[in-house]
Amino acid sequence: MELRKFVAPEFIFGEGARLQSGRYARHLGARKVLLVTDKGVISAGWADEIALCLKKEGLSCNIFSDISPNPRAEEVMKGAEIYREEGCNVIVSVGGGSPMDCAKGIGIVTSNKDHVLHYEGVDMVSIPCPPLICIPTTAGTSADVSQFAIITDMERKVKIAIISKAVVPDIALIDPLTLTTMDSYLSACTGMDALCHAIEAYVSNASSPVTDLHSLEAIRLIVENLIESINNPLCMKFRDNMMLGSLHAGLAFSNASLGAVHAMAHSLGGFLDFPHGEANAILLSHVISFNYDSASERYDKIGEAMGLKLNGDRTKSICEKIVQLKTDSGITSTLGQKGMKKSDIPQLAYNAIKDACIVTNPKRAEQKDIETIYEKTL
């Protein structure tokens, strides 16, 4: 058996976990906290609630919320400047992947003293970041438990991946109650993102017996609960299971990495400022069709975890199930309908081939292969 490492933060899972934020910040030695969030989370009331938890522990905080859906390098640098100017010494992030990735970037910059884009790649962060607490409000990105930070370089129109155990949060407070303020489309996109994490981690060429356990359980939970959680948004049984599925998927992909779906989605997100989860949902079945022959036994296990009885054309059965989930959740557009043009494809494919996630795809992909997959999504 090959050597594998497994990295995960301390995490507290369950309803009410978010309310431990003040206590844990104090335990980490907080004097002044930079609370990183976004406008939607503020509107939902979660950011003010966390600020109150900090206040109850005698901690002051500054709220930084100028963050785009695909967090930008300049937003990270602005947040780092506020962190220094205000004399903060701990970061707390509440929100989806965008605030959490931005918070990770802020931590990198404040400790390592260089522009965030300098740290693109694997293990490029040499100095530990300030203490970081993450409180997710979506069941999808799993940035709260991962060693990934995805930041947009607006000048090059690409998303960069920073992969380092230095950006693994110190503590994740994972509270399914926060999911009740998501609208149905956000629930769909983030849920499909989590499913994609689990599938890509399971077929990754860096998978391991430990990540496999998390991947397959994530797939089972998400397939069984995604549509129900959208149709019954206040039912905590389904929200609990979706948040648990997202957690399992995050623990899997953070350690096994991802594949061509995420490489292509990152390219779309940087070049066209495209919503990440939606891109993954549209791309997933097409990448499975491309990859299947190189990891057929693993994809069959995925099909079984999705509850399929695989007879006949197994690739078709698995892809049809993915498309059904996508469609039933309300994601029905093609990439062409969302703004991708055929003339964009060569540059999109070029950027995807350079993405760190392509390295662990189970089948070697050349630029022409990626172009063909993009064309199928028009």
For residues 51 and 373, give the distance between their C-alpha atoms in angstroms, rounded to a whole number. 45
What integer is the mean pLDDT of 212-224? 98
pLDDT of 2 above 90: no
354, 321 Cβ separation under 8 angstroms: no
Considering the domain boundaries, does residue 3 fall inside one? no
Exposure string over 259-296, b if 16+ CB within 10 A, otherwise e: bbbbbbbbbbbbbbbbbbbbbbbbbbbbbbbbbbeebe
Arithmetic mean of pLDDT, 360-378: 97
> At residue 1, does pLDDT exceed 90?
no
Tell me if 202 sits within 8 A of 189, measured CB to CB: no
In a domain, 5, yes or no: no
Q: For 3-15, how does the pLDDT look when each residue is reduced to its tens digit (9 = 90+)?
A: 999 999 999 999 9
Question: On the CB side of 138, how many CA atoms lie within 13 Å of its CA?
Answer: 31
CA-CA distance, 360 to 375, in Å (whole number)?
Answer: 22
98/113 Cα distance (integer angstroms): 22
CA–CA separation, 339 vs 325, rounded Å? Answer: 23
Cα–Cα distance, 363 to 374 (Å, whole number): 16
- Examine the domain organization and report whether 215 and 352 are in the same domain: yes
Say whether both 18 and 137 belong to one domain: yes
Residue 326 sits in the same domain as residue 342: yes
Residue 331's CATH number:
1.20.1090.10
Write out the residue range of the structural domain in which residue 247 sits.
182-376
* Residue-wise pLDDT tens digits, 301-343: 999 999 999 988 999 999 999 999 999 999 999 999 999 999 9
Residues 259 and 334 in one domain: yes
How confident is the model at residue 12, as a pLDDT? 98
Token pair, residue 168, equals: 């693994």
Could you tell me the sign of the dihedral formed by the alpha carbons of 41, 67, 138, 324, in that order? positive
Question: d(Cα 198, Cα 256) in Å, to the nearest integer?
Answer: 10
pLDDT tier for residue 231 given thresholds of 50, 70 and 90: very high
